[in-house]
Structure 1
Amino acid sequence: MILALLLAAAAPSLSPAEATMTRTVDAEYERSVALLKELVDQNSGTLNLPGVEAVGRTMRRELEALGFTVSWKPMARVKRAGHLIAVHRGAPGTKRLLLIGHLDTVFEADSPFQRFVRRGDEAEGPGAGDDKGGMVVMLAALRAMQAAGTLKAANIEIVLTGDEEDSGDPNAIARADLIAAGKRADAALDFEGLAVEDGRDMGSIARRSSNGWTLTTTGRTGHSSGIFSAPVGDGAAFELTRILQRFRQELPEPNLTFNVGLLAGGATAALDKDGVRATATGKSNIIPATAVARGDFRTLSEEQTARVRTRMAAIVAAHAPGTGATIVFEEGYPAMPPTPGNRALLDRLNAVNRDLALPQMAALDPLKRGAGDISFVAGDVDGLVGLGPSSRGDHAPGETVDLASMRRQAKRAAILMTRLSRERR
């Protein structure tokens, strides 16, 4: 008798509405794949503003059919296309959900990688996983809720940014609508890709920040025979590398990574206006007058970000005699720390996994997840990342999505959203 009770308690337990959702996701699988092809075949590189708007129109069509009120927020002020914002008003007094995704990809209009190619239950294409696959999962889950009758009472706001891969500047404008939505929400669900580790689906309750920096050093130029002498000093190039070496020796701590992505030095050295190309001139027998390096660092909390900035600035300030050194920090993505509230959301997702007879999802090491839009609301609302499909090779030609993973992700999302949306605030 006791064994029977234990087995009954451990058995999957879906309500009739939840069972309808799972059947709907399976029945509409090919429809979802066809929509993914439509989205992928429309280029929407961040700087292809008409392309981003076109993807936005497709998403508007799908969301309006589900009863959402949809608006487009232009972002010309930050030289980006804009954001799609969709609102579904449900029962008063129940939890409000914020769903996050993005319309753009890293593949611009001149990329040779442009088309959706299906191979069974996999497909490659620009943004097939990141994040057009995520948007398709979101829609599949919402359609399943509609079929089961659970969408009607749900309070849901969706923000699909048009510049997640290359945010407009400043973030105060580019992310104002997302931040405002986070303040209204009781839970945030991010539909970027599912993390898979050793064949197991993982839950993501944290994302690290992304912070840029540019280091510039100067020195007394002259004939190379005078290098290191008291009148001349070390020159700009040696001072740059000395400071970078101090970063390497003195900055390391848990959950922090830092990188030098670009550097140059010589009689002259400069970065282009976008900070992605460097030019330099000089000769082997001339002491460099200037050197420049650009990089990033990633942290797990805003407190860690502030601490690392302070340490980097102190190292730069202690430059060698006869040289100058300055560091400029660039606005980036904040951190999403692994809070108790985020862990509680993963517990709720794992309750869904149990009832779907799926394995439990452990929390992913945040070192294995990049920065993302949900971090802008992490200080205001509990969140969960990775509701999109599994994929590989993201951000590179050949990006490939596991189409079959869209099914289980849509089922998880539909049931989780239904359960959360029924709770009182």
Structure 2
Amino acid sequence: MTNTVMAELSANEKKMLEYIDHNNPQALQLLEKVVNINSGTMNFAGVRKVADVLIPEFEKLGFSARFEDGSAFNRAGHLIAELHGGNGPKLLLIGHLDTVFAANSPFQHFELLENNRAKGPGIADMKGGNIIILQALGALKAAGELNDMNILVVMTGDEELSGRPLALSKKALIDGAKWADISLGFENGDGNPKTANISRRGSVDWELSLSGVASHSSQIFKEQIGAGAIYEAARILNRFYEELRSEELLTFNPGRIMGGTDVEHNKATNSGSTFGKNNVVAQSTIVTGDIRAISLQQLERVKTKMHAIVAEHLPKTTGELVIGEGYPPMAPTDGNKILLSLFSQISEELGYGSVEAVNPLNAGAADVSFTSEYVDMALDGLGMSGSAGHTVNETGDLSTLSLQAKRAAILLNRLKYR
């Protein structure tokens, strides 16, 4: 693939812009309709209902579309839409159907605001992005460019709270990425249409379990008693703090700590209980946290350091560090940078200005990360801009619905000819 684009819009690209402008009122109506459907991750019926609204829209465009059941990973499932019509690059477009707002949330409805903005659950994260996908594809079809393209759309039903095991819940994404050359995510990024994501830090959980010798506190530090589990936890956490902070773009956080004579940990509810007395050396400590790394290489390096620190042990203590599964990093590869450059040039041609990369410190994990290991290029943050995501004040900038659809349509068209 070369890194060149047409200097001016083609006749067909102008048709795409006309389609998006003409169809924008209908797109806004569809956005309002799906925002008004509660699709909190664990509201399986609601997630399926959003898919049922969108599947016919894909079928109108000539896609084969279906809902893939998610019972194997305890989630509703995913919307899968496919179009195989040519020999050009294979494109994977990524959205998600679910939101963070449960069925009993007080935040349930679309509400139009001033200045072309609207509130609603999931309006920016990311039901607006799903509509942008449909608008861009509709524009390609209207210009006669869609039928000979190879496109797979995966809209997951568990982006906000992933099902387990991840090998099953993310299988549709990973299989799609192994098929595809390029993946494009339509999340809202950092909410600024002047930015897009060429990288995202991954997120994995860890659990540290420590044991010491229970004894009267007057005996602590003696050879047969040692330091106790809480002191061992303090040693390890302090070493993590001192030795891992030099890693650029890395964050690591102990989010919960429980220690004493007896500890009960409820992983399902992120809670627990402890019993201990001030005059008893702590027998058990559990610490849980997360790591956010910019690349798989950084993650592996940090995991090795953490295991080495844990293995040193204060006297008469033992410990185990378990690092779980999670979202992989999306590293800022050369291919991703080329894709951003193409997208930025298109934006400038349309009069919207250049697009810069989001600082990965400002970008959380997302479904696109599961694809980055397998594709030549990946870009995220192509969705509708908004603010206050994951809160009852989530707001979408409706003006960016057509803006992003236009940029995405032309990007897809030019990728077809690369």
Unpaired runs of 5+ residues, structure 2, are 1-5
1:345 equivalenced with 2:359 (yes/no): no
2:3 is aligned to none
Distance 1:18 1:139 in 2: 16
Question: Among 149, 153, 156, which residue is 2:144 paired with?
Answer: 149
Distance 1:55 1:225 in 2: 63
Distance 1:194 1:212 in 2: 22
| Runs of 4+ that moved beyond 4 A | none
CA contact (8 A) 1:13 1:356 kept: no
1:23 equivalenced with 2:18 (yes/no): yes
TM-align CA RMSD:
1.8
1:55 equivalenced with 2:42 (yes/no): no
1:36 is aligned to 31
TM-score by length of 1: 0.92
2:271 is aligned to 277
2:225 is aligned to 232
Distance 2:292 2:269 in 1: 18
Distance 2:413 2:100 in 1: 32
2:105 is aligned to 111
Given residue 100 of structure 1, which amino acid in structure 2 is its aligned partner? I
1:385 equivalenced with 2:380 (yes/no): yes
CA contact (8 A) 1:87 1:158 kept: yes
Instruction: For residue 309 of structure 1, report the CA deviation from its aligned partner.
Output: 0.7
Question: Among 253, 257, 262, which residue is 2:251 paired with?
Answer: 257
1:326 equivalenced with 2:324 (yes/no): no
Distance 1:405 1:201 in 2: 11
Equivalent runs, 1:272-421 vs 2, <5 Å = 272-274=266-268, 276-381=270-375, 382-421=377-416
Instruction: For residue 367 of structure 1, report the CA deviation from its aligned partner.
Output: 1.7
2:134 is aligned to 139
1:202 equivalenced with 2:195 (yes/no): yes
2:40 is aligned to 45
**Partner deviation per Cα, 1:166-201 (whole Å, 9 max, x = no partner):** 21222221222211111221211100014356xx61
Instruction: For residue 222 of structure 1, report the CA deviation from its aligned partner.
Output: 2.4
Question: Among 140, 148, 159, which residue is 1:164 paired with?
Answer: 159
How many residue pairs get matched? 411
Given residue 379 of structure 1, which amino acid in structure 2 is its aligned partner? E
**Partner deviation per Cα, 1:290-323 (whole Å, 9 max, x = no partner):** 1111110011111111111111111111111121
CA contact (8 A) 1:270 1:292 kept: no
1:218 is aligned to 211
Distance 1:273 1:369 in 2: 26
Given residue 120 of structure 2, which amino acid in structure 1 is its aligned partner? G
**Partner deviation per Cα, 1:334-380 (whole Å, 9 max, x = no partner):** 11111111111111112211220121112222221111111111111
Are residues 275 and 330 of structure 1, via their aligned partners in 2, closer, same or farther at CA, if it must alter by over 3 Å?
A: farther
Distance 1:277 1:20 in 2: 56
Given residue 158 of structure 2, which amino acid in structure 1 is its aligned partner? D
Are residues 114 and 285 of structure 1, via their aligned partners in 2, closer, same or farther at CA, if it must alter by over 3 Å?
A: farther
Distance 2:28 2:280 in 1: 61
CA contact (8 A) 1:12 1:357 kept: no
CA contact (8 A) 2:87 2:150 kept: no
Distance 2:138 2:254 in 1: 45
Unpaired runs of 5+ residues, structure 1, are 1-10
Instruction: For residue 220 of structure 1, report the CA deviation from its aligned partner.
Output: 1.6
Instruction: For residue 12 of structure 1, report the CA deviation from its aligned partner.
Output: 7.5
CA contact (8 A) 2:87 2:149 kept: no
1:124 is aligned to 119
Are residues 418 and 86 of structure 1, via their aligned partners in 2, closer, same or farther at CA, if it must alter by over 3 Å?
A: same
Counting aligned pairs with the same residue, the percent is: 43
1:67 equivalenced with 2:93 (yes/no): no
Instruction: For residue 286 of structure 1, report the CA deviation from its aligned partner.
Output: 2.5
Question: Among 182, 185, 190, which residue is 1:190 paired with?
Answer: 185
Are residues 286 and 115 of structure 1, via their aligned partners in 2, closer, same or farther at CA, if it must alter by over 3 Å?
A: farther
Given residue 82 of structure 2, which amino acid in structure 1 is its aligned partner? V
Given residue 104 of structure 2, which amino acid in structure 1 is its aligned partner? D
Given residue 352 of structure 2, which amino acid in structure 1 is its aligned partner? L
**Partner deviation per Cα, 1:85-139 (whole Å, 9 max, x = no partner):** 101122x211121101111112222222222212031112221111111101111
Partner of 2:268, secondary structure, is coil
